[in-house]
Structure formats: C-alpha cells, structure tokens
Amino acid sequence: MPLTNSIHTPVEELIHGVVVRDPYRWLEDRNLPETEEWLRDQHLRCEEYFADCIDLDGLRKRAREYLDIEVVDQPARVAGRYFYRRRDRGQEQASIYIRDMTSGLERLLVDPAAVGPFTSVGIHHVSDDGSMLAYELKRDGGDRKAIYIVDVVSGYILPDSIETGYARGFCFTSDLRGFYYCHEVLESPEEHLICVHLFGEPAEDQVCFRAPRTRGSRLLLRADGIHLGALYVHELDGEFVVDFWVARRDETKIWNCVLANRTLPFGPILKQGRLFALSYEHASRGKLVELDLAGTEIRTVIAEQAGTVRELIMLGDRIFINYLDQLEHSVRCWNLAGEDMGRIPIPLNGTVQLLAHHGDHGNSVFYTFESFTQPLVLFEYEIDADEPHLWHRRCTPIAPLCTIREANYPSGDEKSIPITLVTPKGVGLSGGLPVLMTSYGGFGVSMTPQFSVLVSIMMELGCTFVLPHIRGGGEFGKDWHEAGRGRNRQVAFSDFIAAAEWLNRESLTSPRLAIFGGSNSGLLVCAAMTQRPDLFTAVLCIAPLLDMVRYEFFNQAAKWRKEYGTVNDPQDFSALYASSPYHHIGDHIDYPSLLFVAGDSDDRCNPAHVRKMAARLQNRAAQRSPIIVDYCGERGHSPVLPLSVRIEALARRIAFLCKELNLPVVFGDRHETACA
C-alpha cells in the first residue's frame, strides 16, 4: 500500500511489512517534462565527459576497422535457392538477397536503405517451395516488428502485411493463398489470437484460435505441413504452465487440447503430422520424447545424454542436437526412429550455434562457430554428402593474439566455480595488467568463448579478460541454472564477487578491475558494485534491470517471474528487495565510475531502470566518481542500430574504460589478420 503519492516526492510503499522507498518514481514516466529535462541534462554531462577523452578519434578508427566488414547471416536453403542477409562494407544496414544454386546468380530482394538508417530487415519465414518470403521490418532497437511479404520471383512486395507488434508465430497456408499468424500489438484486445489472412481479401482476418490474456501470458503459433499448434503459456497458482492445442490445417475450426497445465520447461514440436517434445522430466539435461495427439507419451526418441541440450533442429527425417558438456560443444544427429546417425564435425574451443531452418524439408543445416579470437564463421552441413563446408567467414583485419587459461576458485559457500582468463600473448598473468570481467548468471545462458570486439580492442590495449562461469547460467546443466535462479539469485551475485576477490588474492589483477554487462548481466554488475564497491574501478552497464521490486510492472517483464520471482510472494519479495541494486545505494559511499547505456526503444529492459538508478547515484554528496548516462532515443535491446551509430557507441564504451582504468590508447603488434 502506498504511504505517499505525490509525483515529485519520494514514494514509500509498505510491502509485506517492509517500507520500500522509491525517491525517483517520477522518472518512470517518460512523458513528464521533468523527465525530458533530466535527460537533456544527462546528454550534456555525457558529451562533456567524452569531449575530455583525447583518444576518442583513434578508438573510432579502430572500431570501424572491426565493424565495417562484410557480414552475412540468417542463411536458408530452400527449393534450389539460398536466402540470406548481407551488409557490405560502408553500408549502414543489411539487405536480404537470394542466390540460385544452379547458376550462382545473386539478386537483391529487400533493401531497407530507402526507409531510413534506423530501419532494419530480417528473414522471417520462407515458404516450402521458396516462392514467397516473409520479412520483418524493425524501426529502432525494440523487439516489435512489422511483417511484409515479397514474391521471390518478381520481387514484388505485396500490399498484405502485419502491423508492428510482437511476432509470436507465422506460416503460409498450404495453398499459398495467405498466411496464419499470431501477433501482439500494443492495442491488443483482452485475448491472444491466431488469425488467418488471405491475400487480396478486403474482409477482416478470420480468428482461428483465441486464449484469454492474463498478466505475463503469451500465445505462440507452431506449425508443420499438416497441423497448426497453439502454445499457451499462462500462470497457475503462482507458476507458469503451458497448454498445447492442435488443429489440422484443413479444419482450423476444430482444435484439440493435447496438453493442459504442463509445467515448464516443455517444448512441443510438430513434425510430419507427429508430435514430439523436448522434455526435462526426470532428465535435467533434456531428452526428446514422442506423444500421441491425446498427449500421452509414446516413447523416448533420444534419451538424456552426457551433455545438456542447447538447441534442437528437426529437418526432413533427421534430428540435430547441439549439446554442451563441460563447456565443450558437440553436434549429434539421429533419425526420427531414434537411431544414432553420428556426429557432425565442428571446430573445438569455441561456441557453436545451430541456425533456424525454414519448412519441413531440407538438405542441409547451417551452424556458426566463434571463439575469443575467431570472429563468426558460418558452415553448411549437407546431409547427403555427410560433410560440412565453409559458407562465410567474417574477416576482421585485426584479431588479438592471446593465451587462454582455465582455473577454478571457491565461492562464498566453498562451491568450486570454473573461470577462464584470457591474456595478451607474451604477457604473463600478473597484477600489473588491468582486468576486464563479465559473466551472465541467469536464464540458463551459457558463457562459452565468443568473439567480442570490445574485449578484443581492450586486450590489444593490454587488458586481461576474465570470464567466471557463475551459477544461474547453463554451462553445467539445469542444476547449475537452478542454483542461481529466483530466490537463489544472490548466489550468482556472490559467485561473481568471489571471482573478483580471488583475482586479488592470487595477485592476478592490479587495483584496476572493470566489469561490464548488459540486460541480466547489467543487473549482475550493478548488484556486485552496490554490494562490494571497493572491488571495482569502473562499471559498464548496458540496458539492465535494476529496480527488482518493480521490474515485473514494466513492458512484458512479468514473463520473467519464473526466473526472478514476484513481489506478490513474500519470500520472493524478500530475495528481490535484498539484492535490488536501486534499493541498496548507500548515502556515504563513492561508488566506482559508471557508464550506463540505455534508450527509449528498449521494450525488454525498460530504460526507467537506468534513469532511476543514475539519478539516485548522482544526487549524493559522497559520489565523486563520474556517473554517466549515454542515452539514445532509438537504442533498444535488439542489436539493429546502423553501423555509424554502433561504431560511435563502441568507441565511447572503450574510451570510458580506458579513461577510468588509466589505460593508454596505444595499439601495438599483438594481433594478426582474423582470416589467416
């Protein structure tokens, strides 16, 4: 219950017997003139800070050398054609292309340049015969998108489209006379809907399926060549559960409930008229089962393996699964009968990701590989030839030479936590080098070796990069995730703090230790900063959650209750409040230098988190170290900003780290061409 309610005075609420103070509640309202004035002041502070960074031009040049390269992604092979997205050097955004596999002729299909630099396009769905392509169009960096249809042969963009909203599923009708879709717009009614649209029909789209809208609920459309599926996620007794309904494509007025109130995680998959599911019941690392259309489990197709399932793709009569076991990937193949067809050759000591495919049929599967020193490489594995081949390699002119070391350290509860240390080659591990550290610790996300331009440039400049594999992630399966989820969230924060303490004890860092992270990782680094400000010199925090008492009331964040908990539950509230960075800022502490990065278009982690946290940090007499807010109206959670904006943003982040770590911007020769 609110104890005060004036807009411009601190708000106090009594929650489960605890008085919770919120001095900057008014900054949640983006439309207030006072909020706009506050943002103008932050812009002036930010510009003044970076005007004093004398090395910014050199960093812009280096960032451009890394980022302004040819990039190819979203490949698909359908009916004798390759579909893909490509951004050439000098271009702000990528375009969609097709290439005929027989002739090799390439053709530009969709170019967003005419719409403006802050508009991006992506491949959304390709029809089974390759004649129709649905593409998504995003303006700014939010998750919302519009869907347009293009005739592949003629290049004609049809007038039929889906307005900007949250895409929850799409497929073409069997006769290609229209499409089914599930799409949520801001003005969505009190129901979730699956609809069908017929090309050229002026009549209103027909509703095929509906489900009630409740807080945090969502409806997803699934499909194969025979059935449509409606996956309804909703809350029951404080837990999110899933219902699954199925209808034949030729009779979409009759839907059969296959599953009701099934505990998550559980992922139904329609394939060739059959129903499969990725299940974790009595299998914490995941197994694939088959069910009948009454929801009864028929058999286990692929039993639980030594590794944890990271991705699963069903293509033709093959099943491809990407496993992670002790931080190493393996990709294995089975047929629909469950017979083991062997492994796909993949590079080691990096991160492998299987890419989405289009349609029920196909002759190849695409996957990517990257590592700390290897930018993204794209492979195509051809099923008939039983071998992969290189499809595209991102060629940065510079890649750092480095040495990688694996170790373990004890967390506060004596749990042994693996940690990866990456140092510039020829430089030993010692306390003389500044250290840059990050992790994630949430949602079962695994922090395996990936190529980061920010980290690469910082290592060029003489930094050591450190990656602790903290609990809450998925590096070691479901149990590792559960150990840092919900009321156990502090475990992830403590693991991260323990990594910094270990670096100090082992004399592996100088007093210059910077941490960075975005989204859930942004929450992690700010929680670590507020709990142990003495350990860190600088913090880079990008698009975070920070007010954990109110996180679920912004945008669609209520769907994360299973991960974080809910303030409605007394025990959840206690854990949320205890570790909420916004609520634990001391009046007499000079916190480390901090750069926040946020923007109005972020509809995933609302920028109000940054506005409130920055205001609370800045408006204290004890704060002498800079608190900077780099705020952009077009910036969101999706990485779709134009090239020139991304170059400037990256240069500023590195300039901040170098300035606060007292790290000279001098590029040496500890690098090589990444395509060598």
Instruction: Output the pLDDT for position 675.
Output: 52
Q: How far is CA 27 from its chain centroid? A: 26
Report strand pairing: 538-542 vs 593-599.
Answer: parallel
Query: Is 361 within 8 Å of 344 (Cβ atoms)?
Result: no
Query: Is 323 within 8 Å of 307 (Cβ atoms)?
Result: yes
The identity of residue 576, as a single letter, is L
Rounded average pLDDT over 575-592: 97
Instruction: Output the pLDDT for position 216.
Output: 84
400 forms beta bridges with 671
564 by DSSP, 3-state: which? helix
pLDDT band at 672 (very low <50, low <70, confident <90, very high): very low
In the chain, the percentage of residues whose pLDDT exceeds 70 is 96
pLDDT band at 188 (very low <50, low <70, confident <90, very high): low
pLDDT in tens, 194-241: 999 999 988 899 999 999 998 889 999 999 999 999 999 998 888 889
Q: How far is CA 114 from its chain centroid? A: 28
CA distance 674 to 396: 5
Instruction: Output the pLDDT for position 6.
Output: 53
Instruction: Output the pLDDT for position 238.
Output: 80
In terms of pLDDT, which residue wins out, 674 or 620? Answer: 620
Rounded average pLDDT over 301-312: 96
Q: Which of 358, 319, 314 is nearest to 129 (CA)?
A: 358
Cβ atoms within 10 Å, residue 120 = 25
Q: What are the angstrom distances between the C-alpha of 405 and each of 33, 297, 370, 408?
A: 52, 45, 18, 10
Query: Is 307 within 8 Å of 284 (Cβ atoms)?
Result: no
Q: Which of 209, 172, 214 is nearest to 193 (CA)?
A: 209
Q: What are the angstrom distances between the C-alpha of 75 and each of 24, 26, 269?
A: 46, 45, 22
Q: Is the pLDDT of residue 612 over 60?
A: yes
Query: Is 458 within 8 Å of 538 (Cβ atoms)?
Result: no
**What is the DSSP secondary-structure string of 115-159?**
G-TTEEEEEEEE-TTSSEEEEEEEETTSS-EEEEEEETTT-PEEE
Q: Is the pLDDT of residue 676 over 50?
A: no
Q: How many CA atoms lie within 13 A of 313 on its CB side?
A: 23
Q: What are the angstrom distances between the C-alpha of 330 and each of 270, 346, 349?
A: 25, 7, 11
DSSP state of 45: H
Q: Which of 36-45, 138-147, 415-424 is least confident?
A: 138-147
Query: Is 368 within 8 Å of 378 (Cβ atoms)?
Result: yes
For residue 265, whether the previous peptide bond is cis, meaning omega lies within 30 degrees of 0, is yes
628 forms beta bridges with 595
Cα end-to-end distance, the chain, whole Å:
63
pLDDT band at 669 (very low <50, low <70, confident <90, very high): low
pLDDT in tens, 440-496: 999 999 999 999 999 999 999 999 999 999 999 999 988 999 999 999 999 999 999
Rounded average pLDDT over 419-424: 94
- Which of 6-10, 240-244, 277-281, 521-525 has the highest average model confidence (pLDDT)? 521-525
552 by DSSP, 3-state: which? helix
Q: Which of 180-194, 538-552, 600-614 is least confident?
A: 180-194
Instruction: Output the pLDDT for position 141.
Output: 83
| Three-state secondary structure of 304-353 | CCCCEEEEEEEECCEEEEEEEECCEEEEEEEECCCCEEEEECCCCCCEEE
pLDDT in tens, 495-543: 999 999 999 999 887 789 999 999 999 999 999 999 999 999 999 999 9
Q: Is the pLDDT of residue 547 over 60?
A: yes
Q: Is the pLDDT of residue 572 over 80?
A: yes
253 by DSSP, 3-state: which? strand
Cβ atoms within 10 Å, residue 408 = 12
Instruction: Output the pLDDT for position 4.
Output: 47
Query: Is 22 within 8 Å of 13 (Cβ atoms)?
Result: yes
Residue with tokens 């670096």: 503
Q: Which of 230, 193, 236, 243 is nearest to 216 (CA)?
A: 236
CA distance 438 to 451: 14
CA distance 611 to 227: 46
Tokens of 263: 């505990």
pLDDT in tens, 374-385: 999 999 999 888
On average, the pLDDT of the chain sits at: 93
| Alpha-carbon dihedral angle through residues 547, 552, 553, 555, given to the nearest 10 degrees | 100
Q: What is the pTM of this model?
A: 0.94
Instruction: Output the pLDDT for position 12.
Output: 95
Query: Is 309 within 8 Å of 354 (Cβ atoms)?
Result: no
CA distance 20 to 6: 15
Q: Is the pLDDT of residue 163 over 50?
A: yes
Cβ atoms within 10 Å, residue 207 = 12
Rounded average pLDDT over 333-349: 94
CA distance 303 to 288: 7
Q: Is the pLDDT of residue 628 over 50?
A: yes
Instruction: Output the pLDDT for position 384.
Output: 86
243 forms beta bridges with 232
CA distance 143 to 639: 10
pLDDT band at 425 (very low <50, low <70, confident <90, very high): confident
Query: Is 547 within 8 Å of 580 (Cβ atoms)?
Result: yes
pLDDT in tens, 289-300: 999 999 999 999
Q: Is the pLDDT of residue 635 over 80?
A: yes
Cβ atoms within 10 Å, residue 301 = 18
Identify the helix (H) or strand (E) that includes residue 100: strand 95-100
In terms of pLDDT, which residue wins out, 417 or 555? Answer: 417
Instruction: Output the pLDDT for position 382.
Output: 92
In terms of pLDDT, which residue wins out, 334 or 189? Answer: 334
Q: How far is CA 100 from its chain centroid? A: 32
